[in-house]
Amino acid sequence: MPMLNVGSTKQLFFDDYLIESLVNAKQGLNPAVKVDDNPILRPERPWEGNFMRPIKVIFDPTAQGFKMWYSSSTITVRLENGKPIPGGPAGLVLDSRGDVMCLATSEDGVYWERPSLGLVQFDGSTDNNILPQSEGLPTVPAFQDLHEKDPAKRYKALQMMGSTQTRGMQYDLFYSPDALNWTPYEGNPVIDTGQQLGRWAGRFQGWDPIRETYYVTMEASHHWRGPYGKRLIGRAESPDMIHWSEPEIILVPDEGDYPDTEFYSLPVIAYEGVHVGLLWIFRTTNVTHHPEVVFSRDGFHFQRNYREPFIPRGGSRADFDFSSVYAQDMIVHGDNIFTYYIGTNSRSPEIALELGDKSTEGIGLAVSRLDGFVSLDSGKGWVVKDRSEEELQHIYGERQIFEEPESFGQMTTRPFGFTGSRLYLNTSMAPIAAGPSPGEVKVEILMANHKKLPGFSFDDADPITESSTAHPVSWNGDSDVSALAGKPIKLRFYFKNAKLYSFQFK
């Protein structure tokens, strides 16, 4: 069997791909943390109504800033004899003003401005951030294609034409240099099922650098291969956005889900060689949504090892995201991962009617640490809540206040080869008050047969006691491991009161 070679690719801990053994430690989900100023955009201008949702968020490397396309509308409940009647999504209908599409910009992705675009007249003025909408043309890019060499095709959109309720479907492809002026592909439609019953509603599109192909993930509830008669997730691929594979169902509810569970959508990013998705969990009986983080190494077979909400819903009916959290774009920025989402407190017409003018939908942001989706957490001493010294002593006694390997959680990798001359570790330490001893990490290098390498043992390892997204690992003050590059080795991590997120040779 050939030796596993990780090269200089960052290694995450979401699965057992590299983990040979784990002692006094566990893998754990780290939910994203909502920013204090949520919602980051709320209706404030006359044209923004009461419901706002992000359609697309990007970081533009040319402008060195963030751009957000968002829709805004006034939504009311259609009543008859004082009761809501069906019609429109979840019984909600737009008022006569309808939707507007707008653009917001930001330097940091947290605080947003509404630029005066001067493109659309509203109440006699063009001093607004409304984008023009033309029938049959996109208003929002599906994605910014940094892989594309033709600047005229830097933005792409795949748009469904016609109703989702009819037989068959058609999708047209559009190109744009600036996400304002769109040109349809001359061979449209690129997808046409004719009068077949098969359907899929594509939501998220992009370039997959892992598989080196374009892709779309979709709600496949109406697709002819969809089992159970409920919403599922499918994926299709294309080498050029023109010729598409047959959609393949990739995620279905299982015995670990509630019977009323359906999968509404799946935004995906390629992250350090892994497909990371935020699966929309839809509970049909209580009409709620939340995202669950899923992982795949091939883009088709996803692991659902962590069933907790990655972004929890709000805790009270007054919260804008109490009913549903629809995760949208994930953007890696500096040492953080930004996840933008739609939050609403009234998914059903009955609740919307009850809330009245407090029924709302807004744009939220939740932030994760770099590589922070999942971590290895030391099994002893990791207490997040503040504890007094007396409480900690009662809980842990004297057994953890040692400087021997037995006092640490341990993870040993499978044998692998690498390229590079330094090893870097992404780790965070528990607050000093959260454990009986300070957080600490040591790394030992072993031969493939498990024998210790002279100079790289536990006793040689310099302790890491500070949180860092890229802390250099050293032994007796020396971090050079170039002599071991290309040879089969194992790493053994010793850690207590600490979280390990990733490691990388560079």
* Cβ 146 vs Cβ 155: under 8 Å: no
Which candidate, 223, 241, 240, places its Cα nearest to that of 231? 223
pLDDT tens readout for residues 7-38: 999 999 999 999 999 988 999 999 999 999 89
Chain centroid offset of residue 281 CA: 14
Of the two residues 145 and 392, the one the predictor is more confident about is: 145
Chain centroid offset of residue 139 CA: 24
Residue showing tokens 């922070």: 372
Instruction: Tell me the β-bridge partners of 147.
Output: none
Cα–Cα distance, 214 to 145 (Å, whole number) = 10
pLDDT band at 228 (very low <50, low <70, confident <90, very high): low
Question: pTM, whole model, 2 decimals?
Answer: 0.87
Tokens encoding 494? 């010793």
pLDDT tens readout for residues 412-438: 999 999 999 999 999 998 764 445 567
**Among 126-130, 137-141, 343-347, 483-487, where is mean pLDDT lowest?**
343-347
| ∠ CA 498-504-506, rounded to 5° | 140
Cα–Cα distance, 427 to 503 (Å, whole number) = 9
pLDDT of 502 above 50: yes
- Reply yes or no on domain 5-30+375-505 having CATH 2.40.70: no
What phi and psi, each to the nearest 5 degrees, are found at residue 483?
-65, -20
pLDDT band at 403 (very low <50, low <70, confident <90, very high): very low
Q: What dihedral do alpha carbons 299, 26, 4, 426 form, nearest 10°?
A: 90
pLDDT band at 344 (very low <50, low <70, confident <90, very high): confident
Q: SS3 sequence, 162-209?
A: CCCCCCCCEEEEEEECCCCCCEECCCCCCEECCCCCCCCEEEEEEEEC
pLDDT of 385 above 50: no
On the CB side of 38, CA atoms within 13 Å amount to 27
Q: How far is CA 252 from CA 131, 220, 233, in A?
A: 37, 10, 7
Instruction: Tell me the β-bridge partners of 440.
Output: 496
3-state helix, strand, coil in the chain (%, to 5): 5, 40, 50
Which candidate, 290, 351, 282, 281, places its Cα nearest to that of 91? 351
Q: Give CATH 2.60.120 domain extents, the chain.
A: 5-30+375-505
pLDDT band at 354 (very low <50, low <70, confident <90, very high): low
* Average pLDDT for 179-187: 93
DSSP conformational letter for 252: -
Residue showing tokens 């057992």: 16
> Which one of 2.130.10.10, 1.10.600.10, 2.115.10.20, 2.30.30.230 gives the CATH number of domain 33-371?
2.115.10.20
DSSP conformational letter for 245: P
- Cis check for the bond before 189: say yes or no (omega within 30 of 0): yes
pLDDT tens readout for residues 318-333: 888 998 999 999 999 9
Which candidate, 506, 373, 378, places its Cα nearest to that of 430? 378
| ∠ CA 58-60-63, rounded to 5° | 145
Q: Give CATH 2.115.10.20 domain extents, the chain.
A: 33-371
Residue 402 pLDDT: 34
pLDDT tens readout for residues 104-114: 999 999 999 99
Cα–Cα distance, 238 to 260 (Å, whole number) = 33
Residue 471 pLDDT: 97
Residue 448 pLDDT: 92
DSSP conformational letter for 384: -
pLDDT tens readout for residues 470-490: 999 999 999 999 999 999 999
Cα–Cα distance, 475 to 463 (Å, whole number) = 9
Cα–Cα distance, 415 to 401 (Å, whole number) = 31
Residue 94 pLDDT: 40
Averaged pLDDT score across all residues of the chain: 84
Using DSSP's 3-state secondary structure scheme, residue 391 falls into: helix
497: left (phi over 0), alpha (psi -120 to 50) or beta: left
Residue 378 pLDDT: 85
pLDDT tens readout for residues 65-84: 999 999 988 776 666 666 66
Question: Which residue type does 212 have?
Answer: E
Which candidate, 115, 111, 104, places its Cα nearest to that of 365? 111
As a whole-number percent, the residues of the chain with pLDDT over 70 amount to 80
Largest Cα separation within the chain, whole Å, is: 83
* Cβ 494 vs Cβ 408: under 8 Å: yes
pLDDT of 166 above 70: no
The Cβ of residue 482 has, within 10 Å, a number of other Cβ atoms equal to: 11
Length of the chain counted residue by residue: 506
* Cβ 195 vs Cβ 221: under 8 Å: no
Of the two residues 118 and 284, the one the predictor is more confident about is: 118
Residue 400 pLDDT: 36
